[in-house]
Structure 1
Amino acid sequence: MTIVKTIEEVRAQVKAWRAQGLTVGLVPTMGYLHEGHQSLIARSVAENDRTVVSDFVNPIQFGPTEDLATYPRDIDRDAALCESTGADLIFHPEAEEMYAPDFCTYVDMDHLTKGLCGKTRPIHFRGVCTVVSKLFHIVQPDRAYFGQKDAQQLAVIRRMVRDLNMPLEIVGCPIIREEDGLAKSSRNTYLSAEERQAALCLSRGLNKGRAAIEAGETDAAKVRQIITEEIEAEPMSRIDYVEIVDWNNLEPVDSTEGSILAAVAVYIGKTRLIDNFIIER
C-alpha cells in the first residue's frame, strides 16, 4: 500500500491501473478511521480490483465555531487500518493541494441540504459536495462508498451524482455500532466516560421509535415524540433535531408508510452526535 499527497500521483497510479483494465473503488474519509470506515474499505476491496482511501480533513465543510482545529488526526493509525483491510492507496493531501489560494468554485444543492443537519450547519453540505466532487474528478472511480450513519450526506451525494451525470455508482453501507449500540464515530473520542454512557440515549430513542413503527404505528408525530422523550430523559442531552422524513427526498412526513428515515442530532456535553434508522413499509 502507498500513501501519496499530490493529485498528480493519484492520477498517475489510477491511469496505470486503468491501462491494466482494473476497476477502482474510492472511500472518502476525514481520517481517524474506525470500524465503520473499515467496513466501507472492506466492501470496496471485495467489489473492485483496487481501492483508494482519501484521508483529508476538509476545511470548507466546517463552520467558524466548529471543531476543525481539534478534529482527531492520526495518519499512521489510519494507514495501518487501511493496509490490514486491503486498501491499495491512501490519498492524504494538504489543504493547499486541494484548494488554491484563490479557490472560488463550489458545488451546491438547493433542496436536500436545507433540513436536518443543514439547518444548523448551513455551509456544511456545500463543502461536502465540493470536496467529494473534486475527489471523484481526481480518482475517477467506478464506485464510491459512504456510510448510512451520515444518512443526509449519503442522500445528497447520490442526488449530486444523478443530477450532474457523474459516471460512477454510489454504494451506501450499514451503520457500524459498538456492542452497546452507540454508532461508531470519530467524534466519540471527545466524550468523557460519563458522556459516553449518556450518548446511548440516541440509539435507545431510535430503537423505541423503530419498535413503534414495526408494531404498526403510522403517525410520524407520535414516533418522533417517542424518540424525543427517550433522549430528553437523559439529563446530559440537548437535542438539535429529531425528524421523520421521506428517505428519497428528505421532506418531513406525517405518516411512517413508505421509505422513511428517522434521524437525530444530539449534543452530549459539547459533542454533537448523529444517528438514524431507515425503514420501509
Structure 2
Amino acid sequence: MGTFDDACIFRDVPPLREVRKKMFREGKEVGFVATMGALHDGHMSLVKHALEENTDVFVSIFVNPTQFAAHEDLDAYPQTWEEDLKKLKQIQDEHAASSGPNSDSRIRGIFAPTVKVMYPTLPPSSDIAGNGSFVTITPLGNQLEGASRPIFFRGVATVCTKLFNVIQADRVYFGQKDVQQSVLIKRMVKDFLIPTKVRVIPTSREPDGLAMSSRNVYLGERRRKDAVVLSKALFAARDLYNAGELRGAVIRNAATEVFRREAVAKRKDGKLESSCQIEIDYVALSDPENMAMIRDSDKIDPSRGAILSAAVYVQPVDGPKNQDELDQRLVRLIDNVIFEPRE
C-alpha cells in the first residue's frame, strides 16, 4: 500500500498555492479536512465524505498551539505521523476500489506546516490578553466550551481562517462531536464571507457508544469503561425527546440522572461533584443555530430541535495497578446529541 510521496507533502504555503492555482484553472472541486493528527476512524469518515464529494482533497496535520491554554496538554498531544499517513493512504485506496476505474478523486496533498509558517509574525500566544493576530467569534465562542476553555475558540477560529485562506476549498468537513466548533465555523464562514461550504458529518462512535476522539488514547482500559457513561447519559435524554418530551428541565435531568446512577454509585463518597473519577463540567441544552442556552424553565421548540451537549473530567483511577495508571492525567471529554426538528 505504501504512503504518500514527497510531492504530496506540503510544509510551506507557496508550493501548495502553486498547485492550487493549477487546480483552479482545471476546474477541480476541492475538499478540505483540518486535523491535528492522531487520526482515528472519525477523521477517516470526514476524509471519506470529502473524497466522495470532490475531485481532490487536502488534509492538514497541525497541532495548533493557540487553542491550548498553558495548563492544558499541548506537549502530551499524541504525535503519530507515520501511522496517520498510512491511514490516509488506506482510505484513499479503499475509496478508489469501491468507486471503480472512472473515479479520479484522490488526496492531493497533506499540509503539515511548522508553527512559524502558520504564525509568521509573532510567536503564538495562549494568553487571553496576548499579542497577535486573532479571530474572535462572540458571544458564541465565550459560552459552554468557551467558558471552560477561554482561548480555545479564538485559537480554532484563527487557525481555521488561516487554513481556509491557504487551501481555498469548495467544501470543508467537520465532525458533529465538536458541535460548538462546527456551529462556530459556520458562523465564521458566513460573517467573513469565506467562499466555502461547511459540511458537518455525524459523530463516529465506538461499538459501546463512546465518541471517537484523539484523547481517548489517554484513558486506559479501566477509565475507558467508565467514560462510556457520557454517551449513555446523552442517549437517555435523546430517547426522552424522541418520545415527545420538550421540557428543558426534564431533558437535562434525564442525562444527569444517568451520571448519578452509573457514576456516583461507584464513588467512595457517593458525591459526583467530589468524585475522583468522573466530574461533570456541564450538561447544556442549546439552540441548534447559535448554541444559545435553552433554560430549564423553557421548552424546546420542536420545529427547531436542539443540541444536548456535555463535558466531563475523567480523573486518574483509584488504586492504580501499573505504571500506565500511575502516569494517568486528567482527561476532558466532550460529546453531544442532536434533537432533530419535527412537526
Same fold per TM (> 0.5)?
yes
Structure 1 residue 101, shift from structure 2 partner: 4.5
- The separation in 2 between residues aligned to 1:152 and 1:89, in whole angstroms, is 28
* Structure with bigger gyration radius: 2
Q: After superposition, where does 1:186-201 map in structure 2 within 5 Å? A: 186-201=214-229
**Range with bigger deviation, 266-275 or 77-86:** 77-86
Judge conservation of contact 1:213–1:256 (CA < 8 Å) in 2: no
Which range moved further: 18-27 or 165-174?
18-27
Distance 1:245 1:161 in 2: 21
Counterpart CA distance in 2 for 1:228 and 1:113 is: 25
Out of 25, 48, 54, which is 1:42 matched to? 48
TM-score scaled to structure 2, two decimals? 0.80
Residues of 1 paired with 2:212 and 2:83: CA distance? 16
**1:58 aligned partner:** 64
Indicate which of 255, 279, 282 corresponds to 1:241: 282
1:93-118 Cα offsets, whole Å, 9 max, x none, are 11111112526211101111121101
Question: When the two structures are superposed, what TM-score results if normalisation uses the length of structure 1?
Answer: 0.97
Structure 1 unaligned runs (5+)?
Answer: none
Structure 2, unaligned stretches of length 5 or more? 93-106, 124-131, 268-276, 316-329
Q: Aligned with 2:142: secondary structure?
A: coil
- The answer on 1:150 being equivalent to 2:178 is yes
1:96 to 95, 108, 116: 116
How many angstroms apart in 1 are the aligned matches of 2:178 and 2:163? 18
Give yes or no for the alignment of 1:74 onto 2:74.
no
Alignment deviations for residues 50-78 of structure 1 (CA, whole Å, 9 cap, x no partner): 00000000000101111100011111111
Identity %, equivalent residues: 40
CA distance in structure 2 between the partners assigned to 1:225 and 1:115 by the alignment: 20
SS at match of 2:141: coil
**Of the candidates 21, 41, 46, which is equivalent to residue 27 of structure 2?**
21
State the partner residue of 2:129.
none
Structure 1: how far apart are the matches of 2:72 and 2:252? 27
Partner-residue secondary structure (3-state), 1:42: helix
The answer to whether the 8 A contact 1:106-1:126 is kept is yes
Name 2:135's counterpart in structure 1.
107
Corresponding residue of 1:277: 337
Amino acid at match of 1:264: A
Aligned residues: 281
Preserved CA contact (<8 Å) 1:238 1:267 = yes
Task: Please report how far the alpha carbon of residue 166 of structure 1 lies from its aligned counterpart in structure 2 after TM superposition.
Answer: 0.7
CA contact (8 A) 1:27 1:41 kept: yes
Mapped partners of 1:118, 1:231: distance in 2: 23
Matched ranges for 1:113-152 at <5 A: 113-152=141-180
SS in 2 for 1:113: helix
Q: Structure 2: how far apart are the matches of 1:264 and 1:184?
A: 15
Would you say 1:250 and 2:291 are equivalent positions? yes
Distance 1:83 1:150 in 2: 25
